Structure 1
């Protein structure tokens, strides 16, 4: 009997973030490294020291320009006493400042933590203080005066040592803060040899923490994920997301997610390693994903590569002008960061039928572990598990197994269990060592428990079929909500979320919440589920968001449903329904 465990063997990497950035610089020094559609061409021109600015409607910097600007900032930080390994905390929207800080942190060998600028608001002051207390930044960056005031107040309230350097775009209006231009021209107390600085960056410490990202917090408490140099280098060496030339053209990747999510540094650096361009769009006026801006970026700047989580895909296809847009430049579309069903994947294939379409797996803790091996297969030849798309196969340098915690054994092929990874690209522990039970040592390997309910088939293909924490145990039988959600959505044509509700005898039962009331009755839906899955999967009930007093599913910043909030609303609804 074959067990659900694979080890693809070692992968040789050069542990240096700057080494991989330098590859793009060497390949395409005069080609655009970053285009920011909502920033003026003259923005931060002082950092370019007279280098010509490309004429156009928005900021566009070449590799040579980005490298020069970032080097000035890295030198300025070093002159002002910032030491290797210290932490830079930023609160910024997607902008050229993000690109500068990512490059400068690699050059000066600093730890970069990009945080949600929304944390600067009054309502989130405890969260801001918690971030500052936990990260203890030596450098902090904010884009506006109000943010500087919020950070100053939070620093005083939290009682931590003040950062050595505080940077603000509008710093001339606030005491104790510097602009990027002032930082670059401020002599400081040290002499810095730029060649020595860059040579040290090429010989970086593999165990140095270079990036800290926070999980999306679907459980309510985001966890800090420190990634070391070896981990990020492993991701860039593997290039699991197909970040390479598209139809012989250098990759142009549109950064459609916020920079405080791990997608931003990983995909940006992967694009720069390939000599490509990172295109940044303005946030949506209503907040969240900017579908119109994404389509503008594709048309105006020849975007070749697009990453979409399911909600982004639906919003993009629903944009009124979508069918009239010229998207011929696109050559690669990745759909991922959530469970992808056959309907969603087919819809993506149909909308982008001239592209390489794939599922892209990735989580904050373990980027760069699997890749999509089905580009040469027709859509109907791709394997599915109960209409759930695969995430792909392991890349070199990764071990994985599917573990049954109750039986304390590796599962057989086709049998569900928790997906565990062992790889250089996986975080070693969470910030402050929270949730230590998520990591364990065995057979000389350090393993990470992903929390994903997964299946591995006979061909080494891996599927994620749900989250362990979301599993509904009805009379001791584990039920993965994702399978029911896909089934009900196909039957009712309504977005569906299935959560657990308590039952005195059975323990738990699955309850279906539909985005809108369906033409199918509650009894119709219950009967359909029993027909498809059997009586062990029987629903406790069906309700719409309107029944729960909601207009839309509660989402976090990455558009994932906050199920714990739905459960609270469902409990209130069921209490009222009983009376």
Structure 2
């Protein structure tokens, strides 16, 4: 199989149906395939050859969709850029995997000069925005107008589809190499396992399209003949308006987006009745947020996906029917049809049901490796299994419960505390809108449990009040001993809370006490 295969099928079966909606633009399948073939021709015309890297540094748009198809059509490899990164981080990723050509939109064109200075291999910039083309860049639409369409290279199977950079807790980002087979195995296996996405619906891209979670939804949408409707980036108002205007049926949202959406004043009166499926994942969701979301978006069936970039990205799925079982509210589901999963000890021995260990995964969706990092690849893929770094356990029915990142486990007074359990308790407090729990240095206990919270509008809370509230829900040793109130939690471009940023101040200045 190959990424562009679904486009050929759509062109043959239903060329006049709507393919993309973005802003005021609507394009059919036939128009899209012509533009993809022309963009591929343009890329070859500027020197792109088999296996070359082409970067995309842009907010969501119909042109992003075209580029994700045109790059492999031209025989090249995509490198979607994290739009939340600094110029230095972006330049590192471009230089690291040898990206020579970069598509860049209005939002990031101002840093182009700095990017070129930091990434000298970057030879060509293609402006894919809607304004005037900046000096020194090629114009996307003019390139298409001047180019002749070319035949699809039909790269597929184990050929590299993309290099997707994922931030580490320390050091430089790692380039995850994913093949066509890996990406399509994840998409097809997910569709087989559950009704994660409707057929022929309107799929909204509000999560960033550079991220594997949204690219997974995009691949599924291609396979099911969805209309791809894009908003440039997530805002609650923009998403609500898009759902109402375009009759959106399906969406991939990370938990922070879901919370912002359901807390928006407009949500109470908005017509969200067209929504049929909400896929969520990428980070944990609190039971409180999930319960409210299922009430606000009442017609939608919710499916949780657990995985990581290295798994292209789906490992397990908690189906919509599973969401009706109270015993599974903290589970991330069972392995998807394409995924084999175990929970192991430090020596890779299987652990009994209910015992916490590292989650390891095997299947055709697993990455090829980390670009130019053989030692880290060998460590992650040792014994033929992808070692996720997540701590969890299996129950007797094969459901997976992720309790924490192994690195996020807090050891206080010799007791292991999993931050997600504390977060679930704190999230139930009416004053708390968002929470992240980390371990910080403590002279007596080694680490103490520290909560960073964002409060609901007009609310107040202190550590004693929060402690008393949590005491009814979790053991005393798991209760936070310090609390800090933030205006917002630090977030990655994919909407994940960056706990390392919360920890940083406390571990760099261990003598500092936060009350």
Task: Flag whether TM exceeds 0.5 (same fold).
Answer: yes
Separation in 2, partners of 1:144, 1:528: 48
**Cα pair 2:53 2:79 within 8 Å, conserved:** yes
Q: How far has the Cα of 1:362 moved from its partner? A: 3.6
Q: Per the alignment, do residues 371 and 461 of structure 1 end up closer, same or farther by CA in structure 2, a change over 3 Å counting?
A: same
Separation in 2, partners of 1:136, 1:33: 32
Tell me if 1:496 matches 2:435: yes
**Cα pair 1:243 1:251 within 8 Å, conserved:** no
**Cα pair 1:211 1:226 within 8 Å, conserved:** yes
Separation in 2, partners of 1:512, 1:153: 38
> Out of 508, 511, 530, which is 2:447 matched to?
508
RMSD value, Cα: 3.1
| Superposed CA offset, 1:439-472 (max 9, x none) | 2332xxx211112111211111112121111110
Q: How far has the Cα of 1:354 moved from its partner? A: 1.9
> Out of 57, 66, 70, which is 2:36 matched to?
70
Separation in 2, partners of 1:512, 1:302: 39
Which residue does the alignment assign to 1:461?
Answer: 399
Which residue does the alignment assign to 1:134?
Answer: 96
- TM-score normalized by the length of structure 1: 0.79
Which residue does the alignment assign to 1:7?
Answer: none
**Cα pair 1:94 1:258 within 8 Å, conserved:** yes
Q: How far has the Cα of 1:279 moved from its partner? A: 0.6
**Cα pair 1:474 1:508 within 8 Å, conserved:** yes
Which residue does the alignment assign to 1:5?
Answer: none
Which residue does the alignment assign to 2:416?
Answer: 478
Separation in 1, partners of 2:423, 2:340: 30
Separation in 1, partners of 2:471, 2:90: 48
Separation in 2, partners of 1:152, 1:131: 16
Q: Per the alignment, do residues 392 and 114 of structure 1 end up closer, same or farther by CA in structure 2, a change over 3 Å counting?
A: same
| Superposed CA offset, 1:177-224 (max 9, x none) | 32234433557xxxx884xx33x41xx342221122222556675332
Which residue does the alignment assign to 1:97?
Answer: 63
> Out of 138, 141, 144, which is 1:184 matched to?
144
SS at the partner of 2:285?
A: coil
Unaligned residue ranges in structure 2 (runs of 5+) = none
Which residue does the alignment assign to 2:290?
Answer: 345
Separation in 1, partners of 2:106, 2:438: 41
**Cα pair 2:186 2:338 within 8 Å, conserved:** no
SS at the partner of 2:4?
A: helix
Tell me if 1:251 matches 2:201: yes
Separation in 1, partners of 2:440, 2:504: 10
Separation in 2, partners of 1:172, 1:526: 56
Q: Per the alignment, do residues 90 and 520 of structure 1 end up closer, same or farther by CA in structure 2, a change over 3 Å counting?
A: closer
Which residue does the alignment assign to 1:305?
Answer: 250
**Cα pair 2:40 2:149 within 8 Å, conserved:** no
Unaligned residue ranges in structure 1 (runs of 5+) = 1-14, 38-57, 284-288
Q: What does 1:135-534 align with in structure 2 at a 5 Å threshold?
A: 135-144=97-106, 147=109, 150-151=111-112, 154-160=115-121, 162-163=122-123, 165-169=124-128, 177-186=137-146, 194=150, 197-198=151-152, 200-201=153-154, 204-215=155-166, 221-240=172-191, 242=195, 244-245=197-198, 250-283=200-233, 289-367=234-312, 369-370=314-315, 372=317, 374-376=319-321, 379=324, 381-384=325-328, 388-405=329-346, 409-433=349-373, 435-436=376-377, 438-442=379-383, 446-491=384-429, 493-494=431-432, 495-516=434-455, 522-526=463-467, 529=470, 532-534=473-475
Q: Per the alignment, do residues 27 and 501 of structure 1 end up closer, same or farther by CA in structure 2, a change over 3 Å counting?
A: same
Which residue does the alignment assign to 2:26?
Answer: 60
- TM-score normalized by the length of structure 2: 0.88
Q: Per the alignment, do residues 572 and 396 of structure 1 end up closer, same or farther by CA in structure 2, a change over 3 Å counting?
A: closer
Q: Per the alignment, do residues 185 and 295 of structure 1 end up closer, same or farther by CA in structure 2, a change over 3 Å counting?
A: closer
Q: Per the alignment, do residues 113 and 416 of structure 1 end up closer, same or farther by CA in structure 2, a change over 3 Å counting?
A: same
